[in-house]
Structure 1
Amino acid sequence: MISIIVVDDHPVVRDGIRSMLAGVADFEVVAEAGDGVAAVDLAAAHDPDVVVIDLRMPGGGGVDAIRAMRRRGLRARVLVLTTYDTDSDTVAAIEAGATGYLLKDAPSSQLFDAVRATAAGESVLSPAVAARLLSHVRSPQRTAQLSAREREVLVLVARGTSNKLIARELFVSEATVKTHLSHVYEKLGVTDRAAAVATAYDLGILG
């Protein structure tokens, strides 16, 4: 039996989701909430397998609730069920610790499968959200964060140029080159020159 908490600020929507889930033999809806703050308290009290939660709710949104559950070390896995599929929503929710992300226009069978997969710790993304996240990872958003000078340094690093020679070519100090590199590492999420170059090729920064 998979225990579930349903969180949505619209009572009619929440009742509909609860009724759908309660009608499935291996599901048990143990509680429901109208905002993220209440959701965290209920998750602590009931220790459910899955929290099915909306994102944008007055009095406490879904992303903040997910972060709070993770901070408190709660066992529950989170399935986001929402109408929002913008980059800011999807990426924030996944980074906060959501196991799954489904849109409310999904058929009930997909919701049931998503709840089971989430309970098992499997990542679940609706096709539209998966495509958006993949686009986010591959898009120039991370590329655009690099300054023109940081890109120049990265190009020279890719050619195997030492910091000393980069400094000479760009008419800056070695300390400045190291500063630019540290910024590049941070923005690309890497820790060394080789990883920076590999990631840059992956993202299309280096052709």
Structure 2
Amino acid sequence: MILGVVTIAVVDDDPLVRRTVAGYFAGRPGLDLVAEAAAPEALDAAGRAADVILLDLYYRHRARVDAVAGLAASAQVLVMSAHAEDRDVLAALDAGAMGYLLKEARPEVFTDAVRQVAAGERYFSAALYGIVLREQRVRPAPEPLTVREWELLRHRAQGKTDQQAARAMGIQPGTAGTMLKRIRRKVGLATKSELVKWTLERE
């Protein structure tokens, strides 16, 4: 985020939906649409560097949970969809999405959701809260972290990048990234910033 302006990318294979959603942000103070694309793979550098990526979960009638995981490594992902299947909502959240928004929502709901997600807070359409709460009630106790996982968290909490932490631990950066994803799943946090805060609270 630069000077309080939230940059946004919209990904949807329907051009009409893209134009409609893009129009929600036109002229809104503090919000800047920087990219539109039909698929995650088509996003340009500006789109991938956006603060928030609004992603249609269904591409050619198939849920693209893998796309959520890929984009969530560098941006806050807000899934938007016309559907709300329990398994897809939960899979998207497990993959790192910060929220799930139904496309039928009003324009002001879209803008509020983007601001909230950009601030590191989760957002769900009201109709989806029941799904999320049910999952939280039945989800088993988190698996404990290993010694190496705690070591990686401490490096990240000290302000080191994934590459710097990996070098200090004698592992590949890709391995560190995989470890962080596994840690986020274990503790139920979606972003690296949440993970750093969580670590500092326990030091």
TM range (shorter): 0.5 to 0.7
Aligned residues: 140
| SS of match in other structure, 2:58 | coil
Structure 1 residues 105-160: Cα deviation after superposition (integer angstroms, max 9, x where no partner): 11111111100001111011111111112123336xx6xxxxxxxxxxxxxxxxxx
**Which structure carries more helix by proportion?**
1
1:23, CA displacement in angstroms? 3.0
Distance 1:46 1:57 in 2: 18
The aligned counterpart of 1:123 is: 122
CA separation of 1:191 and 1:107: change in aligned 2, threshold 3 A: closer
Distance 1:91 1:118 in 2: 17
Distance 1:189 1:44 in 2: 39
| Aligned with residue 65 of structure 2, among 28, 49, 63 | 63
Give ranges in structure 2 of 5+ residues lacking alignment. 145-203
Q: Please state if 1:34 is matched with 2:38.
A: yes
CA separation of 1:46 and 1:67: change in aligned 2, threshold 3 A: closer
Give ranges in structure 1 of 5+ residues lacking alignment. 143-187, 193-207
The aligned counterpart of 1:25 is: 29
Distance 1:14 1:45 in 2: 14
Structure 1 residues 32-73: Cα deviation after superposition (integer angstroms, max 9, x where no partner): 11113224xx36765111001110113985421121124xx4
For normalisation by structure 2, the TM-score amounts to: 0.62
Structure number with greater Rg is: 1
The aligned counterpart of 1:49 is: 51
Distance 1:191 1:64 in 2: 23
Out of 77-86 and 42-51, give the one that drifted further: 42-51
Structure 1 residues 166-203: Cα deviation after superposition (integer angstroms, max 9, x where no partner): xxxxxxxxxxxxxxxxxxxxxx34559xxxxxxxxxxx
Query: In structure 2, what residue type is equivalent to 1:79?
Result: L
| SS of match in other structure, 1:16 | helix
| SS of match in other structure, 2:79 | strand
For normalisation by structure 1, the TM-score amounts to: 0.61
Tell whether the 8 Å contact from 1:5 to 1:43 is kept in structure 2 after alignment.
no
Identity value in percent? 39
